[in-house]
Amino acid sequence: MKVARYFFVIVLSLVLTSCEFEETDLGFPKSITFTRNGGEKTIIGNESFVFAEIQDYKGNHGSIEGGEDGKLYNVYDWLKVEYVELKNDVLKVYAAPNTTDKDRTLYIEVYSGSEYDVITVKQEK
């Protein structure tokens, strides 16, 4: 029984480490910029995607939440993304007004299978 358990752990480890994501161009713009007032932008890629996640590349990221309307939302800090999983290649991006005296930047990672694209989102001070 211990041999089977060790074998399972080894196989699971191999499977998990072989799941690599490759950065690729999914057709989304590489960056978008909001004014200090914030607002909403709709961006379109070339492929349907599974999920989108907001990152700050400092170890923090948004959480994906489902709405009753069938849409998925990811919110982190001053940014929110909205989309319908696997239904289209459209991503709505919302930025809250910038009340700081600094420019700010977050990143949206859009995943389609084992590929992902990164969109840099900047907001002026």
- Determine the Cα–Cα distance for residues 76 and 122; give it in Å rounded to an integer: 14
- What is the predicted pLDDT for the residue at 30? 96
Domain assignment of residue 12, yes or no:
no
Domain assignment of residue 15, yes or no:
no
CA 10 to chain centre: 30
- For residue range 56-100, list pLDDT tens digits in order: 999 999 988 888 778 889 999 999 999 886 667 899 999 999 999
Mean pLDDT, to the nearest integer, of 22-51? Answer: 93
Query: Would you place residue 19 in the very low, low, confident or very high pLDDT band (cuts 50, 70, 90)?
Result: low
- Determine the Cα–Cα distance for residues 51 and 17; give it in Å rounded to an integer: 21
Structural domain span for residue 43: 21-123
Residue 39 has pLDDT above 90, yes or no: yes
* Beta strands at 31-34 and 115-123: parallel, antiparallel or unpaired: parallel
CA 16 to chain centre: 21
Q: How many domains does the chain have?
A: 1
- Determine the Cα–Cα distance for residues 59 and 33; give it in Å rounded to an integer: 22
Q: What is the pTM of this model?
A: 0.80
